Structure 1
Amino acid sequence: MPGSARSTAGDHRFDVNLSILFTELPLSERPAAAAAAGFDAVELWWPWVDSPTPGQSELAALRKAIQDAGVRLTGLNFYAGRLPGPDRGALSLPGEESERFRANIDVAAGFAQSLGCTALNALYGNRVDGVDPAEQDALALENLVLAARAADRIGAILLIEALNEPESPLYPLVSAPAAVGVVDKVNAATGLDNARFLMDLYHLAMNGEDLPAVIDRYAEKTGHVQIADSPGRGAPGTGSLPLEELLDRLRKAGYDGWIGLEYKPGERPSAEAFGRLPR
């Protein structure tokens, strides 16, 4: 219920993704709504889906809303096109979208730094008809290296995320090994060792992966975790995932970072969608 402590539950630290929860409110009101629900940390997809370089007044207004709410920004996506939607990232797309991603790198890093955010997520991007996948992969690595260096300059990590094939059939990173393979390539190319795996348990479950095995194998390379129940991408308890067991396994495997709530609230107000968080 509103006002109860939600950011910590048992040994877990939760933040709220304001790009999928509290969307019944204007963006400027969502940080305060998260705080009223008992959270002191939030994360965001890139909020300006049509602009990798919004005006300073827009950046300042969102920064002020977060600061005034007294919440911490724990994670931010680089520009990734229209989310939720068909784009699924921009950094591996030849031409204009890749250029938009590059234009966004320093803007996103600067905004993150101004709020003490230390995790930047770079969505890989879909395969494009008529373009050699190897060409896209080479472009992706080039842009991820730029992003990793920008993240390093502000003391942040770069996150690489696997999505799920049923919902994102053109996205090439649809398994934990595929995403971690890119993490390893970025770290080898930069020598910075600041690229990490974003372990989204919903996406991995939708791919049919063995979640306990993924946790055991990749917890040490994981920089952030996101959850939603599966099927349906709803709140914990609306599907069949044993989220409490999985998060306890993550903790025992050494992960002690933030867990992002990235689920749909359903028909009810978002403030009522936190009643069954894992303890």
Structure 2
Amino acid sequence: MLQPFRLALLACLMSAALAHADAPQYSVSLTPIWQGNAQLDDGGKAGLNSILFSASADQAMNPGWSFGLGVRLAQDHWDFESPTRFGGKAPWDTVRQGNLGFHVNYVTAGYQSFSIMPTIEYAGERGAAGSDAIGYGATFIAVQQFSETLQLGLGVGVFREFDKTSAFPFLVVDWQIDKQWHLGNPFDAGPSGPGGLELSYAATERWQIAAGGAYRSERFRLASDNTVSPGGVGQHDRLPVYLRIGYAAQPGWRIDAYAAAAFGGKLKLEDDRGHEIGSENYDTAPLFGISFSGAF
């Protein structure tokens, strides 16, 4: 899916730098999420349970280069109750997503950082044809380090999802305001949207309190036996705003509990030719999650 010359270039960069590589760094995380039933504007309710898993490996080079490989898997199980807008039928059931991403980063002597992150993604309802559920794209980031505690930058994501291409700009922030307060991006930018913003407070060396949010937009191919739009496309948009309490264990492991509200929730349905069948907004929904993660 990704252009061959781009993959060849990244492979050359890796092999040229491996002789000077430091030890690789690895990270994993597992996050179950529950979003409570919310009232649909035209009648009925919708809610979902999700499970997310991610793993990554990062390799630092000398001088200035680093690269990494990451994988993310997610499953959303939807629960619809008499959705009037869709003729009383659930527009979709279980949605599965998986993406594989690679990044190359270079830091100059003037403390500028440049990154490219190509990604290939599968997003489809259970039973969707695999070849029709593939998307691909990349994010590009440029960051300037202004001091030991402040980095600011700009990025853009460009992704091809099924039958449409989307692009979005985003702000990159890494600001250690003082020993306890930090402002940054809580998530990686990707096909679902930018990384959002989070303000955190380190109460102790192990305990942390934070608040943040990030706009999310997820498109996925529907199954060929979908009862409302066979082989069509579903879309879910929302703005989760959350509070987080985190506890850092030793060595490198942590647990984070989230309490959130999903604002501006919208469900959209298209046929297999990209024509909109209908869309439906839902009320603000409660959202809870817990994340187990480790770095080593």
TM-score by length of 2: 0.32
Q: Larger radius of gyration, structure 1 or 2?
A: 2
TM-score normalised according to structure 1 size: 0.33
- Higher percent of residues as helix: 1
Ranked by relative contact order (alpha carbons within 8 Å, sequence separation 6 or more), the top structure is 1
